[in-house]
Structure 1
């Protein structure tokens, strides 16, 4: 069995080597130039899909080489086509159109590389092909190696209907400019803010998870909310470095970020419902852990999140696209579509409205009982209600500002940066620093030599037992 597998592997390696050797002889021994073509030799691109040239009444594409000095119609010994789209791995693929009035110009060099010129709008149309073009500061150029591009003739049935030269290229590696303020904010400050936010949210989750007296239903919900926020921060952090992701990662990261926000609001509504319901009960007794209730709330929150996430993904994959994209060179599943975003947006609005109802109803109930006397448990529940109200305001404002930051304007990015910088510290203040019983238990856990044994009595009884 071992020799059979070894023989199979050797045959596969031999076939690959023979194929490479044949390409090597065809490319170098005969002196021909390799040209990367997107479609078959008798096909062209019609609406970004390969189609027979005779059916579209167009001529097949034939490469025209440009010399290194910028002169057109350079002579080469011969050429051969390598058919297929470029293998960009984790890089993005970008389409480039070259027609008479475009600012983009494509030049196929005699060695098979593709040179892309980007002209200033004030430049002359033929300035990109001058011999001293590389010395021009107003014209940018980039050379794509073989295998990093494909060229063909492109025809569109809508918009610009006359034929144009088309190239699908792998995105070039952008040079880091450490003196550019915008680069520093996007690639340095923004990731640092996300990293600090993740650390702060981890601290909040650990505080409510480690101290036994805080592992009641409210504490478990707060821990779950911080986990959802952490997932959203991680997804946004990964979306910053666009050069390390492909088209499939666009969809996964965007859906993960939106689903984490939706799950956060579902769990926040669970906290509001628990407080709203508990205030209306005659006998209120808070247990340290209430696993059964947490399971019911988990079934509501995670089940609703899963259903709406599945509905949004289904809407993106099957309802957002009217025309099948078979043989299309441009992947239109880079980001989630408008219909998917609309599903998530409507869901979040409904859940936020439900949380606002719980807040208003509970506030009216407390306003009608201003003169009523409360025990320590009721005071803690009222403190949890204030924490719920502050979290609702913070997360709702953050979500609205995030929606505003989607506007295609350069200044909107700084809104998103501000959200990632201040949201987690405010969560720390609301859930830990502002809660006196939480800071007391943390001080007792950190400063006391004896471990806390409040799992059986709750933090109220622990406080009474150790109070001066």
Structure 2
């Protein structure tokens, strides 16, 4: 009896105050929170972490598993009661994947939001050094510059939805650093046509390259098809313009990077540098030809232009092949660990994003390509100064002297145009968009000026074009070029 009495009292004072409805409400709320827990995409299994981008058991490396930290939109930490993992890498469908590293001292920060989305914050505050920089520690996109340049801009960010990323803890064994790792899907590009960077880099730049190729091709064709212009000087000008056409084509391919991989992108770089090197070597041979002819006691005694052009070709292309081989070997054998990556721009509706890393020739290889070009400047200045002194000492000019003096003026003009364009190319590699935009314009001006000094400013070329195109008269031919047309009593047109 006493036992039943005490049981009745317990039920009356302990259990009955909590009604059936209240107990059911508490259980249902808790169950609802668990079912609606935040989904977190984890790259590896629950007992694994990333070891140099490979999933390994955490206990084998004495590392703790990844414990996600949640943040609000303003960057403050928040607590999430329930969350659950979805294991595996994201399915990016038609887009590509990009790794991002948050290792403490990098400019990339990975903030996991309380709703399961990933906020990638880029602080843009970094000192880059190509000799000591680690692409995994300084910038997840692998951008390195040849000199140390501080870059400070307002932070930018992008939010990746829950099924477009995966995160995990990562250990870099080379530096023994731990941090967070994320593999994200590259967002689909939404073009902002009013963005200055997009207009200059993706619209005007390819248009200017195409116009430049047309102008260079016009000069090459004119100097090739007109018989009286196919002397040694004319053949050199034609070859220089062909080299510039190839460099413009390679530059045009580099603009559109969406369908290029690392190998093809590096090949376009190699073609670009080789063509530029060939153009400047041929310009140097042009100056040497003028200097040697003026230094000669008798300008009339010479071998045929065809044979001379073969001699010049063998020397120039041998030097180009030698320097290119040295640069490529230096890149693959000596430049390991400091290989550069070019950061390609993509545009979203609100911010500027980065495209896939593109491996390029390292700075050691570029130095081997461009150092000979710098030396050609000094040699060409020597040719200019010494030839100018010889011209000033000449009292009587023959027709060949007038021809050579015209070639000398043309050489100096092309030398100035190509040198300034090359300097702007070097400046465009600095981390300043204004210099890049300036090079885009200067690149077009180079083609326009070369077309002007080689065609429009040369009165004898204009005369030959007018005679062949407008009057359909046969052009004079001769193995000595168009200076011999004057000496043989041909048509009188000035230089």
TM range (shorter): 0.7 to 0.9
CA distance in 1, matches of 2:433, 2:458: 39
| Counterpart in the other structure of 2:372 | 347
Q: Is residue 454 from structure 1 mapped to residue 472 from structure 2 by the alignment? A: no
Report the counterpart of residue 405 of structure 2 in structure 1. 382
Could you list the per-position Cα deviations for residues 343-362 of structure 1 after superposition, in whole angstroms to 9, with x for gaps in the alignment?
Answer: 12321112222222222221
Kindly report the root-mean-square deviation, in angstroms, between the aligned alpha carbons of the 2 structures: 3.9
Q: Which residue of 2 aligns with 1:193?
A: 208
Contact 2:97 2:183 in 1 (8 A): no
Match of residue 428, structure 2, among 405, 430, 435 = 405
- CA deviation vs aligned residue, 1:89-116 (integer Å, no higher than 9, x gap): 9x68443438799643357999xxxx54
**Matched residue, 2:419:** 396
TM-score of the superposed pair, with normalisation by structure 1: 0.73
The structure 1 residue matched to 2:172, chosen from 156, 169, 190, is 156
- Which residue among 372, 381, 386 is the counterpart of 1:356? 381
Aligned to 2:50, what secondary structure does the other structure show?
strand
Sort the Cα spacing of 1:343 and 1:380 in 2 relative to 1 into closer, same or farther, 3 A.
same
The yes-or-no answer on 1:303 pairing with 2:321 is no
Larger Rg: 2
Which residue, out of 421, 425, 449, partners 2:448? 425
Aligned counterparts of 1:97 and 1:230: Cα–Cα separation in 2: 43
> Which of residues 153, 157, 160 is equivalent to 1:142?
160
Q: 1:117 aligns with which of 103, 119, 130?
A: 119
SS at match of 1:451: coil
Give the 5 Å matches for 1:90-239. 93-97=98-102, 103-106=109-112, 115-119=117-121, 140-143=158-161, 151-156=167-172, 163-239=178-254
Structure 1 residue 367 and structure 2 residue 385: aligned?
no
Which residue of 2 is the match for residue 25 of structure 1? none
CA shift, 1:181, in A, is 2.5
Report if aligned partners of 1:288, 1:456 keep a CA contact under 8 Å in 2: no
Taking the aligned partners of 2:247 and 2:437, their CA distance within structure 1 comes to 18
- String of CA shifts for 1:279-320, please: whole Å, max 9, x gaps: 223333499972221111111111111111111111111111
CA 1:344–1:98: 2 relative to 1, 3 Å: closer
- Out of 42, 45, 48, the residue aligned to residue 51 of structure 2 is 45
CA contact (8 A) 2:47 2:57 kept: no
- What residue number does 1:135 align with? none
DSSP 3-state at the match of 1:95: strand
Task: Measure how far apart 1:53 and its partner are.
Answer: 4.3
Secondary structure of 1:105's match? strand
| 2:68–2:112 CA contact under 8 A, matched in 1 | no
Mapped pair 1:434 → 2:436: no
Q: How far apart are the structure 2 equivalents of 1:58 and 1:108?
A: 25
The alignment status of 1:445 with 2:468, answered yes or no, reads yes
CA contact (8 A) 1:224 1:267 kept: yes
> 1:199 offset after TM fit, Å?
0.9
Structure 1 partner of 2:272: 257
Q: Structure 2 unaligned segments of length 5 or more: list them.
A: 1-38, 72-77, 124-155, 340-355
What corresponds to 2:129 in structure 1?
none
CA distance in 1, matches of 2:103, 2:190: 25
| C-alpha contact 2:118 2:161 (8 A) present in aligned 1 | yes
Tell me how many residue pairs correspond in the alignment.
398
Mapped to 2, the partners of 1:98 and 1:109 lie a distance apart of: 23
SS of alignment partner, residue 433 of structure 2: coil
Q: CA deviation at 1:335?
A: 1.9
Quickly say closer, same or farther: Cα 1:215–1:94, change in 2 above 3 A.
farther
**What is the aligned partner in structure 1 of residue 11 from structure 2?**
none
Q: Give, in whole Å, the separation in 2 of the partners of 1:279 and 1:120.
A: 61
